[in-house]
Amino acid sequence: MTSATNDDPLDFLSNSLQSTATRTQADLIQLLLYEIIRVKDLIKYYEAIPNGAGQLGASILNELVSEAYQSLVNYDTELMRKYYDLLQNCD
């Protein structure tokens, strides 16, 4: 007789709730890092606007990126979700 893992090619049966939660947290971290990088590029754009017209926007985005990074350092998943949502809406 074959084992359950051989009958489960997509690995549904052997996944525990904790491994799924860990994968979800890792995905959140990766997504948040991508958003931080995207917004940092956006900050460069705002800083390049002539006559300092984009400085306020750049300053606000810098603060948001700083707080998002701090949520990663503290591994605060609730704040990571919050800052991911906020960064997604930056343009």
pLDDT for res 26: 87
Per-residue pLDDT tens over the stretch 32-81 = 999 999 999 999 999 999 998 999 999 999 999 999 999 999 999 999 99
pLDDT for res 16: 53
H helices of the chain, in order, are 17-47, 55-73, 77-88
Indicate the DSSP class of residue 49: S
- Structure tokens that stand for 7 in this block: 């009958």
pLDDT for res 1: 47
Alpha-carbon distance 35 to 15, whole Å?
Answer: 29
pLDDT for res 24: 85
Q: Answer for the pair 70, 47: CB distance below 8 angstroms, yes or no.
A: no
